[in-house]
Amino acid sequence: MGRGRRIPNTVTQLLDPQGFSPVPLTALLRSGAQRLIEQAVEAELAVLLEAYASDKTDDGRARLVRHGHLPEREVMTGVGAVPVKVPRVRDWGAAAEKVRFSSTILPPYLRKAKSIEELVPWLYLKGLSTGDFHEALAALLGTNAAGLSSTTISRLKADWWDEYDRWQRRDLSARRFVYIWADGVYFRPRMAEKKQCVLVLIGADEWGRKEIIGLADGYRESTQSWRELLLVLQRRGLTHAPDLAIGDGALGFWNALREVFGATKEQRCWFHKRPAMF
């Protein structure tokens, strides 16, 4: 073999049969964007159906009913293409001018949305008051989202918090996480507290399957913030100490880890360590 000759890469990456994404945070952002759009459109439709709920046909049926969906299309976001479907309605009324459903936030011509890499953490940290949710949808889908009614936004707020609450309380006892990765992520959007960040914990089980097991807002990656997150995970079933924890040089996580999971071995993340070596 001649010197300098490149050996071609013949390794084929196979998809996980369980549908696991190799980049779990990206998958979370993409699925979160899809659910956010779907919930917003469904909330718009619910408001329209309620407005005509009392209208009946001559034979007593509801005048306005759901009628499937328009063909699925994709909206390009900062974390890839997100498939979306807009529901349709059927107006059984006798009037010549039929009622149609036209989504305010997802008009037919929308094909490209703004980046959501910074939007979803901003939503989490800032909180979803009615005004915040309105602003978030406008940031994701453009100024057309400004037409959302307060009723629609209130529905979204309730649905989103309910889903988030279930995710935060899910049982972890059925999984054995042998590795965990920890990091505090800071984002460019201005927060009420400039030192606030998202504490992220990713776990990998004995089969190598990764999953985000914890998200929490923290203050400067402090020991107290990390301790509270680890104790919450412990109460939810993460009772077996992971074999190895990987993180950067922030002391807050390591101090908290030694308190909660003292038997776990520690390893500095090479991605964070390399810049400090040169």
Query: Each residue of 60-94: b (16+ CB within 10 Å) or e?
Result: eebbbeeeeeeeeeebebbbeebebbbbebbbbbe
* Of 202, 229, 269, nearest in space to 25 by CA: 202
**Are 218 and 264 in a shared domain?**
yes
Number of structural domains in the chain: 2
Global pTM reads 0.54
**Cα Rg of the chain (Å, integer):** 24
Amino acid making up residue 255: N
Does residue 16 belong to any structural domain of this protein? no
Does residue 33 belong to any structural domain of this protein? yes
**Are 84 and 43 in a shared domain?**
yes
pLDDT number for residue 127: 47
Give the structural domain span for 59.
Answer: 24-168
**Are 161 and 181 in a shared domain?**
no
Contact 102, 88 (CB under 8 A): no
The secondary element (H helix, E strand) that includes residue 89 is strand 87-91
Distance CA 192, CA 221 (A): 16
**Are 95 and 210 in a shared domain?**
no
**Are 133 and 181 in a shared domain?**
no
**Are 66 and 115 in a shared domain?**
yes
Amino acid making up residue 196: Q
**Are 181 and 164 in a shared domain?**
no
**Are 187 and 162 in a shared domain?**
no
| pLDDT by 10s per residue, the chain, length 278 | 455 566 666 555 544 444 444 455 566 667 777 777 788 888 889 888 998 999 998 888 999 999 999 888 887 765 567 788 889 999 998 887 888 888 876 766 655 555 544 445 545 444 444 445 555 555 555 555 544 566 776 776 777 778 778 888 899 998 899 999 998 877 655 445 556 788 889 999 988 888 889 988 777 778 999 999 999 999 999 999 999 999 987 778 999 999 999 999 999 876 655 555 44
**Are 34 and 149 in a shared domain?**
yes
pLDDT number for residue 257: 94
Does residue 9 belong to any structural domain of this protein? no
Structure tokens at 189: 């959007």
Distance CA 49, CA 63 (A): 10
Which of 140, 168, 196 is the endpoint of a domain? 168
